[in-house]
């Protein structure tokens, strides 16, 4: 299972990603746009997703994935970081980054 440190490592390994404290939590951004918000203790996070992906994840495992306050209506999904596998967490964070990063940066990453 994953940890807050794993989440931080995954997010910061992505091109142009940076960490910034906002609202008392670590936020991970690319070009000033947030793609992950981690809880203070690192046990949970809100991750940017599409509404379709959010619906699928909530139906798949409602104990691990939740509808987060404030950003849930935009498609974001809450993640119990300590209940998710490292590969699945990497996939979610990378896809959130892809949705947020400039197309040129994503293209360079894929190359």
pLDDT in tens, 9-59: 999 999 999 999 998 899 999 999 999 999 999 999 999 999 999 999 999
Which structural domain, as residue segments, surrounds residue 69? 4-104
**Four-CA torsion 57, 62, 82, 22, nearest 10 degrees:** 70
The first and second tokens of residue 8, run together, are: 């931080």
Q: What is the mean pLDDT of the chain?
A: 96
Residue 110 resides in a domain:
no
CATH number where 42 lies: 3.90.1150.30
Return the higher-pLDDT residue of 103 and 23. Answer: 103
The first and second tokens of residue 59, run together, are: 């139906």
**End-to-end Cα spacing for the chain:** 29
Question: Does pTM top 0.85 for this prediction?
Answer: yes
Tally the domains of the chain.
Answer: 1
- In the chain, what is the greatest distance between 2 CA atoms, to the nearest angstrom? 36
Residue 111 resides in a domain:
no
Instruction: Give the per-residue pLDDT at 24.
Output: 86
């Amino acid at each position: 299972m994953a940890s807050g440190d794993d989440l931080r490592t995954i997010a910061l390994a992505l091109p142009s990603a940076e960490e910034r404290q906002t609202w008392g939590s670590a936020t991970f951004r690319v070009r000033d746009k947030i793609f992950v918000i981690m809880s203070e203790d690192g046990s949970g996070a809100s991750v940017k997703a599409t509404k379709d992906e959010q619906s699928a994840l909530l139906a798949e495992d409602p104990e691990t994935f939740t509808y987060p306050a404030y950003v849930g209506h935009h498609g974001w999904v809450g993640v119990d970081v300590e209940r998710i596998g490292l590969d699945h967490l990497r996939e979610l964070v990378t896809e959130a980054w892809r949705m947020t990063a400039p197309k040129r940066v994503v293209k360079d990453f894929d190359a």
